[in-house]
Amino acid sequence: MILLSVVLGAMPLSARATEASIQDMRLWTAPDHSRLVLDLTRSVKYQVFRLHDPERVVIDIEHARLKASPAKLKLPDPVIQAVRYGTPAKGVLRLVIDVKEQVKPRTFLLKPMQGKPNRLVVDLLRPETEQKAAIIASDKRRSRDIIVAVDAGHGGEDPGAIGPRGLKEKTVTLAVAKKLASLIDRQQGMRAVLIRKGDYFVPLGKRVRLARAAHADMMISIHADSVRIRSVKGCSVYTLSERGATTDKAAQALAAKENAADEIGGAPLDEVDDPMVSKILGDMFRRDALNSSQILAEKMLARLKKTGPVKYGIPKRARFVVLGALEIPSVLVELDYISNPERERKLRDASHQQRLASALFDASRQFFEQMGRLGKQASLKHGSTVL
Ligand SMILES: [Zn+2]
């Protein structure tokens, strides 16, 4: 038995007497890991270790009892075969996760935030998939296509904004991102990389790192906004501002809201970084990318105007962590207000999603044409050749 980690939850003495209860559990499957999230009534002390033959990960939680049922988890997933539980000693709840391959467990506690309770996050990391991703990325580099990183905001534990009829921002952003990616992939000379491919959370810093690893030439981060006043509607487009150059208070508040994703979605400490600080670039290089981002943002607004209402007619600037790839043009698009019932209905509609994706695609293609990176009448890969 190898003890991998002992984490002490911050817990006042008076709380020790009361048992913690696990009220709910959720499973999110990402390409490189599976994540089990336990909702707790209070913070806990726990231990994690691995056992072999057969492979399993064991979590012993002190003074806890299970109210949620593992039977509701959609199992098996690519990593987890089954989740069992028992009481090996008085006052200890043991969760046993049967896994299909050797995984590296990574666990951490999350404090209550935006309606979410104390949570224990158990990530089971698959070592091999990281290598595969790197190989795929280097293959793409060799092809010399223009690579666009398409980033669907939020995911997994982090639903993003939620509409009055229950539509989640994470669902809309993924649907539009997939449509945009397939338009890009059909274009000769362009290729898309989806930063998030399913319903799981990707920390903000990791989104930037994935774009870099794929040698992306552009980053489009897709979101939908929300506000208490339900009549508010329309799209807006944002670029990165350097410290102190935020357009206005509203843009600053939006960036703070989007930047909080790591705390809601659950980013392990080693993945909470500020890519803008860690990457040092020459001033001219950076200014060039910021100018390009501005040009791209203007093109996107011009196209999006044809699909529906516009909230702000000019691109705004704020300090979004996800736009930290300073070396490439990067924009964050708020498609519309999901808090507006009429716009929520539109955002749910597949043909409207397709129109939004087309607008973003047209703007990106025009941008690269203007930069001389793409032939003016580039043909479709699978369509008839246009000369
Ligand atoms: Zn968002």
Compute the distance from residue 377 Cα to the ligand 1 centre, in Å. 34
DSSP character at residue 288: H
Q: Is residue 101 located within the same domain as residue 133?
A: no
pTM for the model stands at: 0.85
Residue 133 is predicted with a pLDDT of 58
Compute the distance from residue 208 Cα to the ligand 1 centre, in Å. 16
DSSP code per residue over 186-241: HBTTEEEEES--SSS---HHHHHHHHHHTT-SEEEEEEEE--SSTT---BEEEEE-
Amino acid at 14: S
Residue 190 is predicted with a pLDDT of 96
Residue 5 is predicted with a pLDDT of 45
Compute the distance from residue 333 Cα to the ligand 1 centre, in Å. 9
Cα 79 to Cα 75: distance, rounded to the nearest angstrom: 9
Cα 359 to Cα 78: distance, rounded to the nearest angstrom: 35
Domain-embedded: residue 381: no
**Residue 205: domain span:** 128-370
Compute the distance from residue 152 Cα to the ligand 1 centre, in Å. 9
The domain that contains 245 carries what CATH number?
3.40.630.40
Q: Is residue 239 located within the same domain as residue 359?
A: yes
Kindly report the backbone phi and psi dihedral angles of residue 34, in degrees, each rounded to the nearest multiple of 5, phi listed first. Answer: -115, 140
Q: Is residue 152 located within the same domain as residue 211?
A: yes
Q: Is residue 132 located within the same domain as residue 94?
A: no
Compute the distance from residue 160 Cα to the ligand 1 centre, in Å. 5
Q: Is the dihedral of CA 237, 242, 248, 254 positive or negative?
A: positive
Domain-embedded: residue 164: yes
Q: Which residues of 85-110 are buried (b: 16+ CB within 10 A; e: fewer)?
A: beeeeeeebbbbbbbbeebebbbbbb
DSSP code per residue over 127-157: HHHHHHHHHHHHHHHHTT-EEEEEEE--BTT
The domain that contains 68 carries what CATH number?
2.60.40.3500
H helix count then E strand count, the chain: 9, 16
Of 125, 144, 172, which residue is a domain's last?
Answer: 125
Q: How far is the CA of 142 from the CAs of 138, 215, 379, in angstroms?
A: 6, 10, 21
Q: Is residue 96 located within the same domain as residue 213?
A: no
Q: Is residue 284 located within the same domain as residue 162?
A: yes
Residue 385 is predicted with a pLDDT of 40
Q: Is residue 207 located within the same domain as residue 328?
A: yes
Residue entry with tokens 């539109």: 346
Cα 294 to Cα 298: distance, rounded to the nearest angstrom: 6
Kindly report the backbone phi and psi dihedral angles of residue 144, in degrees, each rounded to the nearest multiple of 5, phi listed first. Answer: 60, 15
Compute the distance from residue 326 Cα to the ligand 1 centre, in Å. 20
Compute the distance from residue 40 Cα to the ligand 1 centre, in Å. 26
Of 125, 152, 178, which residue is a domain's last?
Answer: 125
Q: Is residue 59 located within the same domain as residue 159?
A: no
Residues surrounding ion ligand 1 at CB below 5 Å: 153, 160, 223, 258
Compute the distance from residue 235 Cα to the ligand 1 centre, in Å. 12
Q: Is residue 89 located within the same domain as residue 141?
A: no
Q: Is residue 175 located within the same domain as residue 71?
A: no
Compute the distance from residue 308 Cα to the ligand 1 centre, in Å. 19
Of 68, 94, 125, which residue is a domain's last?
Answer: 125
Amino acid at 118: N
Give per-10-residue mean pLDDT for the chain (387 aa). Answer: 47 60 96 96 95 96 94 94 95 96 94 92 83 55 82 97 98 98 96 97 93 94 97 96 76 90 85 56 67 95 97 92 85 98 98 98 96 71 45
Within 10 A of 112 (CB to CB), how many other CB atoms are there? 12
Pair of tokens at residue 227: 């506000």
Residue 129 is predicted with a pLDDT of 59
- Based on the structure, what is the number of domains in the chain? 2
